[in-house]
Homo-oligomer: A and B are copies of this chain.
Amino acid sequence: MSIFKYNRLDKDNAAVLLVDHQTGLFSLVRDFAAADFKNNVLALASAAKFFNLPTVLTTSFEQGPNGPILPELKEKFPDAPYIPRPGQINAWDNEDFVKAVEATGRKQLIIAGIVTDVCVAFCALSAIEAGYDVFVVTDASGTFNEVCRDAAWNRMASAGVQLVNWFSVVCELHRDWRNDITGLGSLLAGYIPDYQNLMTSYAVKQ
């Protein structure tokens, strides 16, 4: 008699929001090792491409100390809506951003950004309030330290946000390896060295 409805990520109903992954702000992120964190962010971006998910990019004050968006992200999504916010800290307070989200026509929002407790949390809470299903990608979102992260997670989860990691996003979207074995394998190998090693060891035995 469970009343729980498993709200699964669906590649035809999901969009990705990348919020403030800017080169200056990366230097504030200290709850992940730097190489690990960048790897996670790029993995999520590559997943968005792999599944052809509508993706919205936004930045905060990119002409100032926060710096420009991570170049690899801009390159990956040359045609995606890109909203440099003139001042709003919560991206949801920016009309263009909300319109871009609405224009995706998707109801499941996969959100990641810097910093977790502000740019991610504010946007996620607003999106929940607006009726979206929100999935925050925990390992592609960073902040000052674990205390800030833990509080932000608690606040978001209490509001109904689902906390996920990029690998679970990929797997939940893909559903079945047979949908594209090579593609999925390649995606995973690119960002999970342990998995790449398994594949290399396996291949050599063939």
Contacts and interface: CB of A to CB of B under 8 A. Distances in A.
Interface of A: 1-2, 4-6, 8, 23-24, 26-28, 30, 32-39, 60-61, 64-68, 70-71, 86-90, 93, 115, 117-118, 121-122, 125-126, 128-132, 138-139, 144-145, 147-148, 150-155, 157-160, 162-165, 167-168, 171-172, 174-179, 181, 185, 191-202, 204-206
Contact of A198 (B24, B115, B126): B24
B23 A201 contact: yes
Given A36-B35, A204-B67, A2 B160 contact: yes
B168 A121 contact: yes
Nearest to A71: B200
Given A129-B6, A168-B117, A176 B139 contact: no
Chain A contact residues: helix, strand, loop or mixed: helix
A116 B194 CA distance: 16
A90 B26 contact: no
Given A93-B175, A175-B93, A177-B89, A160 B4 contact: yes
